[in-house]
Amino acid sequence: MLKEIRIQNFAIIENLVVNFEKGLNILTGETGAGKSIIIDALNLLVGGRADTDSIRTGEATALVEGIFQISDAETLAMVHEIGIESDDGEVHIKRQISNSGKNRCFLNDSQITVATLAKLGDRLVDLHGQHDHQALLHPEIHVELLDLFGKSKP
């Protein structure tokens, strides 16, 4: 569960902290208020593609941090395989992008690769966009969905 996200110098956001509670959390606001930017920052935090255009105008770096509470044993095992200890199941992820294109990722203050972050991020967050339903038009997705439905795949 995502407990908190901190965003600095990302797109139009100078500094923002959002705390989440257990259960349903809803982001609302007028058009242009920044809801999609928060989702983009979350996507970056869990291993999504970094783009230097996302750095706030006039700034050298953008930083996104998140605190996650992990209760899933498999995900905790993955964290331990990476070499990170988390006795209480809480992990702190940090991702920084710079104008030079340099990209740094941290898990509990230990540097990790973007690939490792993306692999872990797949287990932490499940993001869906407004056009995700179009994936149903791709035949290769059909077999995967049938496997999931038939529980032949984890």
Number of domains in the chain: 1
In a domain, 137, yes or no: no
What is the chain's alpha carbon radius of gyration, rounded to the nearest angstrom? 17
User: Which is more confidently placed, 136 or 111?
Assistant: 111
Task: Tell me if 145 is assigned to some domain.
Answer: no
Q: Whole domain around residue 98: which residue ranges? A: 2-128
Contact, 47 vs 117, CB < 8 A? Answer: yes
Specify whether the CB–CB gap between 91 and 84 falls below 8 A: yes
Q: Determine, yes or no, domain membership for 138.
A: no
Pick 103 or 141 by higher pLDDT.
103
Contacts of 120 (CB under 8 A, 6+ apart): 46, 47, 75, 78, 79, 82, 93, 107
Q: Is the pLDDT of residue 100 over 80?
A: yes
Does a structural domain hold residue 152? Answer: no
Residue 147 domain flag: no
| pLDDT for residue 108 is more than 90 | yes
The CATH number covering residue 115 comes to 3.40.50.300
pLDDT at 55 over 90: yes
pLDDT at 85 over 90: no
pTM of the entire structure?
Answer: 0.82
**Per-residue pLDDT tens over the stretch 122-154:** 889 877 777 676 777 778 778 878 888 887 655
Q: Is residue 94 part of a domain?
A: yes
pLDDT at residue 26 tops 90: no
Assess if residue 102 is contained within a domain: yes
The answer to whether position 85 is within a domain reads: yes
Contact 83, 113 (CB under 8 A): no
